A and B are shown apart, each in its own frame.
Chain A
Amino acid sequence: MNFKLPSLFTRTSKVERNIDHFFDKVVMAGLLFRQAMRLYIEQGICPEFEDKMARVEALESESDRLRREIETELYVHTLIPDLRADVMSLLEDVDVLINLFEAGLFKFHIERPQFPATTLAELNRLLETVCDCVELLIASARAFFRDIQVVRDHNCKVQMLETEADKLSTSLLRRIFGSDLDVAQKVHLRYFVERIDELANTAEDISDRLSIYAIKRRI
């Protein structure tokens, strides 16, 4: 029996802190992604963009490490046995978002898509909506651990923003494919629009699962 009462709360506090840090990393990665993309739209690839991309990459590694540490603590010390699998799935799903931020910035850095000036306003709106959507999802995920009543409110907003993002991306794609650009470039730009929109879609998928986890968390 490896059960020590004094260490029970110490261990719990440590895992609590790690979970909070994990979500902090995802929020920070989202903010950096938003800033880096603004820079890209305004100036293209610049040293500041590269700096932010490097920071997102570092955050991704750090979040992976934290996730593994949390996973180990939860399983080795059989914490939250009834919801452990749900918590792990949630953390892994959220980790996908930070991966998408990182991969998105890398793709922009490597492929440097050229958006026509007429599409930039809509691209900006899409980016803002998608980033807001992810931020709300993180708030919802945090609420799952502390206040399950709020999860539902946040998830509603996530779904609303995802629908908004879908509309914006469709409109943006229409504008791209209705322009005089070369077909190859149109297809290239479509790939990036879809990549940005995928963030909102992933956030919505996670929020759907989170709603179920929240129901299961009720006593």
Chain B
Amino acid sequence: MDLSFLFFVSSGLFLGWSLGANDAANIFGTAVGSRMLRFSTAALVCSVFVVLGAVIDGAGAARTLGSLGGINEIAGAFATALAAALSVFMLVRMGLTASTTQAIVGAIVGWNLFTGSVTDTNTLLKILATWVLCPLLAGLFAVLLSKAVESCLSRFRPHLLRQDALTRLALILTGAFGAYTLGANNIANVMGVFTTVSPFLDLDVSGLLFSATQQLFLLGSLAIAVGIYTYSKRVMLTVGCKLLQVSPVSAWIIVVAHSLVLFLFASQALERQLIDWGLPPIPLVPVSSTQAVVGAVVGIGLLRGGHSVNWRLVGRIGCGWVSTPVVAALICMLCLFVLQDLLHLSVARPQHFVISEPALKRLKAQGLDTTTLKMLVDSEYGSAQQLIASAQSQQALDNDDQQKLIHFSLRSDFVLDHDRIGRLDREWFSRKQWLALNEAIGQRFEYRWQLEEALASRTEAWRLKPDLPGNKHFNQDLQQKLAHLYRTFEH
């Protein structure tokens, strides 16, 4: 096994460990804190389902490479994962519950700042807005669920012991489901970036295919399980009893409220349904499970009058949330500095931006005012930040225009060969899309949009549809596939 792989993957495993130590507490914290489940039981159920989720369902999430998608060099991924893991670890050491999502987003912004990439402010603002909305929504759900459960209990009047047994069963089932989704959704953040350098080979165990990605994800999920066993107890007790002493039924309500919020912000099926009904869709952005849990706990506490909530601890956790992304970004930049300037490792693939004449035409077709941009034609820029700064000196560009300019002027080398097409997941593409890809074998492109146009000219299955609510899902799916192709075919 390549030693450099072991070195780089260690930060992913550390991030996995942090995720286990912190996020598992969000799922089982209230159950353990209310003494409904022993820590050993919770840890076992959580570990088993995290591993199952990662191995069985993790591959789907990894196709989009999760939140770390923009990072294109293994050393950069190493620094980002290490920075996120370190900032989570520091908060966990303090006995506080950290937000892994915030740490990862902070580290990515740090990478963007260091490498001169431009952060998509629209997406970032959307994510920041959910950091406020998510705990509020979780609190609201917890209050509504409490009222509903209270009225059900007074209607059906189960015996205290029957209620206890049902609550215990419900806590285990929802916890197991939560652990499964934790494994499936977060393994891409932990291990996704290492799939390209993985030394594992596909295994065929008596007819069952155990892919190289699954083996890598098994390794990552084992790191999560180690985190659960070794360090999650402290955070579980913070969530489950230090913040507010919760009853078993409230413990279950908190877990359900937290899962509902995560589902709202992560479900493509729900988004599609809302669009079908003509309703505005909920943005699909990574939300923090920690914030959801703390929001739900505080919601229950407020319903009881708010006296029993440990407001001092809530304040400390809030401070932790504010500082996590900042600390993660700073650590990430420090790590990148060490890797790039002291160890002379490449932390980001060099990018070149050239506004060519055809690119300018396409920008004009996209609605951009290109009169002043003409002066920049054929000039070369070493980073997105330089390109934007130069363009901004000519004319003001909003965030959307900046993203378009970056997309249409990024020059690279995209090669469609048998080997690279063979690496794609055949199942993910429609028959027409697959045929068009195979027809383009042997072609070479300088720009992303050229590859996009070459495919779109072959079939409408590769063409973006008009920006209407009904087409949103198709367009999103197509853009995910195109992003995956850019990464795969970039030489």
Contact = CB atoms under 8 A, between A and B. Distances in A.
A9 B165 contact: yes
A10 to B, nearest CB: 10
Interface string A1-43: 1010100110010011001000000000000000000000000
A149 B44 CA distance: 38
A1 to B, nearest CB: 5
Contact of A146 (B38, B159, B247): B159
Contact of A83 (B150, B153, B160): B160
B153 A219 contact: yes
Interface stretch (B248-256, B257-265, B270-278, B310-318): B248-256
A126 to B, nearest CB: 34
Given A1-B44, A3-B41, A82 B165 contact: no
B159 A5 contact: no
A145 B41 contact: no
Given A1-B44, A5-B169, A219 B164 contact: no
Contacts of B169: 5, 8
A146 B160 contact: yes
A149 B154 contact: yes
A11 to B, nearest CB: 8
Contacts of B472: none
A80 B158 CA distance: 14
Contacts, number: 61
B146 A80 contact: no
B149 interface: yes
Contact of A144 (B158, B160, B164): B160
A81 B35 contact: yes
A9 B168 CA distance: 11
Interface in A96-145: 144-145
Nearest to A74: B161
Contacts of B150: 218-219
A1 B40 contact: yes
B168 A8 contact: yes
Nearest to A73: B161
A217 B163 CA distance: 11
Interface in B149-200: 149-150, 153-154, 157-162, 164-165, 168-169
A83 B35 CA distance: 11
B412 interface: no
A82 B164 CA distance: 10
Contacts of B250: 219
Given A1-B41, A219-B253, A82 B154 contact: no
Contact of A16 (B34, B35, B149, B159): B159
A183 interface: no
Contacts of A1: 38, 40-41, 44
Given A145-B159, A219-B146, A79 B247 contact: no
Contact of B160 (A5, A81, A145): A145
A79 B253 contact: no
Nearest to B145: A219
A51 interface: no
B15 interface: no
Nearest to B153: A219
B249 to A, nearest CB: 4
A33 to B, nearest CB: 28
Nearest to A10: B165
Interface in B322-367: none
A14 to B, nearest CB: 9
B36 interface: yes
Interface string A143-169: 011110100000000000000000000
A8 B170 CA distance: 13
Tell which of B154, B158, B160, B168 has the most Cβ of chain A within 10 Å. B160
A8 B165 contact: yes
A213 B419 CA distance: 70
Contacts of A145: 159-161
Nearest to A219: B249
A79 B164 CA distance: 7
Given A1-B38, A219-B247, A79 B44 contact: no
Interface of A: 1, 3, 5, 8-9, 12, 15-16, 19, 78-83, 87, 144-147, 149, 217-219
14 contacts: A3-B41, A12-B159, A12-B162, A12-B164, A12-B165, A15-B161, A79-B161, A79-B164, A81-B34, A82-B34, A145-B161, A219-B149, A219-B247, A219-B249
Given A3-B41, A218-B247, 20 more contacts: A5-B169, A8-B168, A12-B161, A12-B162, A19-B161, A78-B35, A79-B165, A81-B248, A82-B34, A82-B35, A82-B247, A82-B248, A144-B160, A145-B159, A146-B157, A146-B160, A147-B154, A149-B154, A218-B150, A219-B253
In the A-B complex, the 5 residue pairs with the smallest Cβ-Cβ separation, listed nearest first, are A81-B35, A219-B249, A12-B165, A145-B160, A80-B164
